[in-house]
Each structure stands twice: as C-alpha cells, then as structure tokens.
Amino acid sequence: MKTTTGAEPGTYTVQFVRRSPMARGAALPGPTGPLPRVTRLLVLAHKINGMIRSGEIRDWADAARLTGVTRARMTQIASLLLLAPEIQTTILELCEGSERHDPATEHRLRAIVAHADWTQQRATAQLERRP
C-alpha cells in the first residue's frame, strides 16, 4: 500500500497493490487447529447482535429459538458483548496452541462480566491471567 498527499490539504490518496491468492495465503498465518470455544462464542454473539440490528431476526429470544438453545443460555452468550473492548480483542485473537485446555473459559469470563465498569473488568482480567 502506498499513501501520497492529495491535492487538498488534509486529504490522502491510497493506492493498493493487488497480490495473488498464493501470496496472500503465505503472508497470513492461519490457526493451526480449531478456535477456542470462548472465541467461537464471542463471534457468535457478535453475529447474532448484527442480525438483530439489521432486522434479520427480532431479538435474542428469537435467536435462542432458531439455534435451539434456551433463552438463559442465549443470555449468557449475549453477556460476552458486555466485556471491555480490549478483553474482547484478546479473546478474538486467541488461537489453539499447544495447551490442552483453552486459555480462557466462559465461566471465568462471567466473573469479569459481573463488573459493569470496564476498568474493574480489566483489573479482574489481569488478576486471572496470573498463575
């Protein structure tokens, strides 16, 4: 990608270089195995939230009926959206490693979500990361 200053002050022209699919695949390392469960659940929560916002489905109860889970379980999944953005980013960047168990569990995240304040969530998450 090449950026140059545009004709007007404060504007830029961006030129993208098209790469072959082989070059793109080689440049981006992919996950070595399946994603951790908590990552998949957070992605699901964002997907359902987007479907509700777009009007594809009515609400979380409708999503529960469509996916075949209880409304209580759907509430647990939806609560992951209440995590601080930095914590969500960390969860979304998790990939399956050599560890036998997932590095973060939904059960642990429920204790973090219990704090409405993102500062408290970050502090709780820091405490849980330490061995």
Check: CB of residue 15 under 8 Å from CB of residue 2.
yes
CA distance 100 to 126: 22
With a CB cutoff of 8 Å and minimum separation 6, the contacts of 60 are: 48, 52, 71, 74, 75, 78
17 located within any domain: no
Please give the pLDDT value at position 93.
86
Within a domain: residue 3? no
Q: Is residue 52 part of a domain?
A: yes
Which class for 28: exposed (0-12), middle (13-18), buried (19 or more C-beta within 10 A)? exposed
- φ, ψ of residue 52 to 5 degrees: the values are -70, -45
Q: Rounded to an integer, what distance in angstroms lies between the CA atom of residue 50 and that of residue 44?
A: 10
Quote the pLDDT of residue 121.
93
pTM for the structure as a whole: 0.68
Q: Is residue 28 part of a domain?
A: no
Q: Is residue 122 part of a domain?
A: yes
107: domain range?
Answer: 33-129
Residue 80 located in a structural domain: yes
- Report pLDDT for 105: 86
Does 11 fall in a domain?
Answer: no
Q: What is the pLDDT of residues 37-87, one digit of tens each?
A: 999 999 999 999 999 999 999 999 999 999 999 999 999 999 999 999 999
User: Mean pLDDT across the stretch 93-105?
Assistant: 64
Q: Average of pLDDT values for 2-17?
A: 62
Contact (Cβ atoms closer than 8 angstroms) between residue 79 and residue 72: no
pLDDT level of residue 35 (50, 70, 90 thresholds): confident
Q: pLDDT-derived band of residue 20, with 50, 70 and 90 as boundaries? A: low
Q: How confident is the model at residue 1 (pLDDT cuts 50, 70, 90)?
A: very low
| Count of structural domains within the chain | 1
* Residue 39 lies inside a defined structural domain of this protein: yes
